[in-house]
Amino acid sequence: MSRMLLKLIKGSLNAIAYNASETLDEKHANGTPLQETVKQVTDLHKMFK
């Protein structure tokens, strides 16, 4: 096998084996758009209170 093919196979196996939860940590906790809007309005209200 050629070097390029081995590199491609190794890269493919690493991509398949990669744990997707490492990428998604802390990003899946975002609220709905309505929740985000309410939070922003609440924060603004606190600033100008």
The confidence score (pLDDT) of residue 30 equals 62
Which phi and psi angles does 30 have, rounded to 5°?
Answer: -65, 140
Q: Report pTM.
A: 0.40
Residue 4 binned pLDDT confidence (cut-offs 50, 70, 90): very high
The confidence score (pLDDT) of residue 28 equals 54
> Contact at 8 Å (CB) between 36 and 30?
yes
Compute, in degrees rounded to 10, the torsion defined by CA atoms 37, 39, 43, 46: 110
The set of residues, in sequence order, having a beta carbon less than 8 Å from that of 39 and lying 6+ positions away, is 31
Per-residue model confidence as pLDDT tens digits over 7-41? 999 998 888 888 777 666 655 556 778 888 888 88
The phi-psi region of residue 25 (left if phi > 0; otherwise alpha if psi is between -120 and 50; otherwise beta) is beta
Residue indicated by tokens 């809007």: 37
The confidence score (pLDDT) of residue 13 equals 87
